[in-house]
Structure 1
Amino acid sequence: MFLKPNITLLEDKEFYPALDMLERGVKSHFPVVLVPGIVSTGLESWSTSNCSRPYFRKRMWGTTTMFRAVLLDKECWIETMRLDPDTGLDPPNFKLRSAQGLIFKLYWVWGKLIQNFAAIGYDNNNMHLAAYDWRLSFYNLEVRDQYFSKLKATLELAKKVDGKKSVIVSHSMGLSLGLVTLYFFKWVESPTGGNGGPNWVNDYVEAFVNIGGPLLGLPKALSALLSGEMRDTVELGAFGIYVLERFFSKLERADLFRTWGGLSSMLPKGGEEIWGNEFQAPDDSDDTQGTYGSMLTMRSLIKKKENPSESSDIVKVRNHTCKSGVHFLQKHTPNRFSEMLTRNYSFGVVTDEEQMQETKEDRTKWTNVLESQLPNAPDMKIYCLYGYGKETERKYYYAREQLEDEDDDDDDDVEDENQEKRKRFRDKLGGFLRNVFIDSSVSSDKDPKIKSGVHNGEGDGTVPLLSLGYMCVKGWKNPLYNPAGIKVITREFQHQVGPPLDLRGGENTADHVDILGNYELTKDILKIASGSVNDLEDRITSAIREFAAKVKL
């Protein structure tokens, strides 16, 4: 009994609901392409420079190798992970590439789903992984790795071999966020991109399954790029923050994050029309203290010049909405980061057809679902599958330290000043950013969702509900954004806490990452891939329709 493998437990836990569905005749049908995100995409080193030789072909992200390198060889790890801040491509002497194949790190996140696909007849001949280097901007994914050309070829070959269109399954902890796939749709139809023609997506894609996609970005990206902080770092407590700052400071983290052009694709999109203004936001509730619309609340703490260790009273509080927050980020970070954002991304809203047609070949708009249209694919279906019911970062309380006689750069419109003043302003950025931080002392007895300088809202623990669901329940019902009338089906999963010893949260979890192990979600995806979707219709139980109704576009 000791030597004999006990597979009963493995069968019960890992291959259901697929085995039950198999008994009812459900089996593999459409080819499947998996588009992973940050957590499940390994990056392996192909560098042969002095410090990186010991890590050749080892995965430098999300593995024990990464943790050893960070602890014992931090400078080499940082140099390996960062991109050239000017080109957004590989820096000299360092090279990382996405790990390919349905293995290892991908398997931890996608394992339950892959096992269930296998149980109804899938293998690596009809199930493909479209891994990518999530650090790169979408444009550079094609420039360096020909990512979209390869994805196009994969879908074309799948149809040639199987005679069927493919189902694309995209999950987000980062950049798959649906936007990689949606960018691909625009690229492949465009004569300046893949030159597939206006009907290509309709001819080769059966369905697009968007799992937990932050289609409108997330506030967490704004705080990470501004100060290298987020809820995870400020809830460590005073001692934890002290240790983290000594070892890997927020300035070092922010500097690294800003070289990752792909991370910037997650900045919030839609401005005040979507995320709210200083007075109200669509997802405010009766018990919300203040409003989520002021995404950043910035307090200036004035230090006495003669004794900087002492502070006078707080002299200024500024509220930044989504739009002014992104502008604040661009204004108070180095020029080359601001220029990278301008080259690659757009964060506004298009509200009329004429403007949409004028900018349809502007690739910076392809990353924004509010400034671009879904493909001409009336036969394709979009499935939005996401969770809710977990506290999710929505707003931040920042503090800024400055001396009594220091200029208040918040009010300087440096873009309209002369070149010399802009240079002086940029020269001071290092000191400015060093003194901007999430104020972890801010908490509230009236609103328990305000903790350690972070105001949480509704979502899946990572992505706010507005970003998960607005386009699915309302935005893509508008012909301006969905001219082909693609059917969009939204399926929500309310989070339930699982057994305490289950590392993946249990079969009813709706956490952003762990939802890939959710029993009902797995069942839905298998139905889509097998073509058994007759009973898959909208299931919306959150307040997203109420939130969406308050958005006036």
Structure 2
Amino acid sequence: MLQHVMRLSHSWDSTVSMIPRGGDTIWGSLDWSPEEGYSCDQKREMKNSTRVTNPARAKSAISLTRSANFGRIVSFGKDVAEAPSDDIDRIDFKGAVKGHRAENRTCRDLWAEYHGMGFEGTKAVADYKTYTAESIVELLHFVAPKMMARSTAHFSHGIADNMDDPKYKHYKYWSNPLETTLPNAPEMEIFSFYGTGLPTERSYVYKLSPTAECHIPFQIDSSANDEETCLKGGAYSVDGDGTVPVLSAGFMCAKAWHGKTKFNPSGIRTYVREYRHSPPTTLLEGRGALSCAHVDIMRNFALIEDVIRIAAGASGEELGGNRVHSNIFKWSEKINLQL
């Protein structure tokens, strides 16, 4: 199965377009992330918020709750994912010399750039221990320089300092909302519709597996679990629609485009409309008319109603303005982005 996936994906350089935009500023660093303090047990979180009324007790309760380091998008080992950053002994992979790997007998027709990394290059990647959104891009340049050279000609993942810089007229920036501006259309409105209430993968615990099939030496450590920090099967989860985290779906309308900003110079009005997931109660419902899972949300009655009302001329205010079930505004405020 893995060989067939590799054969198909070799022609999919465009998957690079799915790399998170904004780097550590948006997605967090080794010690910080917008979602820090998130509890995957939302019922327990709501219960605690109603029962703990004394500020001192509330502070004590928060301090006893461990939180995942979501900014560490990839960590080699659960211990690394949880350790204070000062205690992590990292060796920079960028200066490593790639070696030679034995002939790939199981996947010899599926050669990729990482097959040329050798054991030295593979070890260097693992020795760096943990990666943030920015260092993930650096890692890809190290592992697959030819692919990344092609991709950087078409995509960009940074944040614009000066939107008047002529370089941002190049089409490679157009797919990044943090490096382009909305049109001069002050009468227009933008809506962000997405689902919430489903565990959604945000960061991962990896392990080194040198003898893996097709010489792919890095695998998600499915044995890594920790209910308190939302870690299950090697993946840390946050609120989202099961595929896209809330931060990715709602940040631009919640903050970067909200009001007049350098990304929204004409002040186009933006609205966040979240839909709380409710699974089907019987098999007869199929995927469910109240489901807010990724793609399934297209048949959600509340979403369809909002779309029809907008198409019929209703404004965002007539829809009721923002409708939020998550902490998107709280998390967005934590992001120090110059607007």
Query: Does residue 1:369 correspond to 2:177, yes or no?
Result: yes
User: 1:359 and 1:293 mapped to 2: Cα distance?
Assistant: 29
Supply the AA of the counterpart residue of 2:139. F
Structure 1: where are the runs of 5+ without partners?
Answer: 1-247, 301-314, 404-429
CA distance, structure 1, for counterparts of residue 248 and residue 142 of structure 2? 25
Q: Distance in 2 between matches of 1:318 and 1:380?
A: 46
CA contact (8 A) 2:20 2:133 kept: yes
The answer to whether the aligner puts 1:450 opposite 2:237 as a matched pair is no
The equivalent residue for 1:275 is 27
Distance 1:347 1:280 in 2: 20
Matched, 1:441 2:193: no
Number of the residue aligned with 1:342 = 152
Partner of 1:320: 131
TM-score by length of 1: 0.44
Do 1:259 and 1:337's aligned partners in 2 also have CA atoms closer than 8 Å? no
Q: Does 1:290 align with 2:74?
A: no
Equivalent residue in structure 2 for 1:484, among 262, 266, 281: 266
Larger Rg: 1
Query: Which whole-Å deviations, capped at 9, do the CAs of 1:218-272 have from their partners, x for residues lacking one?
Result: xxxxxxxxxxxxxxxxxxxxxxxxxxxxxx11x6524533522333222111100
Structure 2 match to 1:264: 16
- Pairwise CA RMSD: 2.5
User: Is the alpha carbon distance of 1:517 and 1:432 closer, same or farther for their aligned partners in structure 2, counting shifts above 3 Å?
Assistant: closer
Q: Residues 255 and 320 of structure 1: is their aligned pair in 2 closer, same or farther, counting only changes over 3 Å? A: farther
The separation in 2 between residues aligned to 1:400 and 1:520, in whole angstroms, is: 45
Identical residues among aligned pairs (%): 31
The structure 2 residue matched to 1:514, chosen from 296, 299, 322, is 296
Q: Distance in 2 between matches of 1:358 and 1:285?
A: 40
Structure 2: which amino acid aligns with 1:551?
I
- How far residue 316 of structure 1 moved from its aligned partner, in angstroms, is 4.8
Q: CA deviation at 1:542?
A: 1.4
- Counterpart mapping for 1:152-551 below 5 A: 248-249=1-2, 252-254=4-6, 256-285=8-37, 287=65, 289-299=67-77, 316=127, 318-333=129-144, 335-354=145-164, 357-401=165-209, 434-447=216-229, 449-477=230-258, 478-502=260-284, 504-533=286-315, 535-536=318-319, 537-551=321-335
Q: How much does 1:378 deviate?
A: 2.0
Work out whether residues 163 and 179 of structure 2, in 8 Å CA contact, stay in contact via their aligned partners in 1.
no
Instruction: Quote the Cα distance in structure 2 between the aligned partners of 1:529 and 1:370.
Output: 28
Query: Number of residues paired by the alignment?
Result: 261
For 1:259 and 1:388, how far apart are their aligned partners in 2?
33
Instruction: Report if the CA contact (8 A) 1:491-1:539 is conserved.
Output: yes
Which consecutive unaligned segments of at least 5 residues does structure 2 have? 39-64, 79-125
What is the CA–CA distance in structure 1 between the aligned matches of 2:224 and 2:128, rounded to whole Å? 14
Report the Cα distance in structure 2 between the residues aligned to 1:373 and 1:341, rounded to whole angstroms: 22
Residue 279 and residue 433 in structure 1: after superposition, are their counterparts in 2 closer, same or farther (change >3 A)? farther
The one-letter code sitting in structure 1 at the alignment partner of 2:157 is F
Q: Deviations over 1:9-67 (max 9, x none)?
A: xxxxxxxxxxxxxxxxxxxxxxxxxxxxxxxxxxxxxxxxxxxxxxxxxxxxxxxxxxx
Q: Given residue 267 of structure 1, which amino acid in structure 2 is its aligned partner?
A: I
TM-score by length of 2: 0.71
Q: Distance in 2 between matches of 1:337 and 1:500?
A: 47
Distance 1:433 1:485, change over 3 A: farther
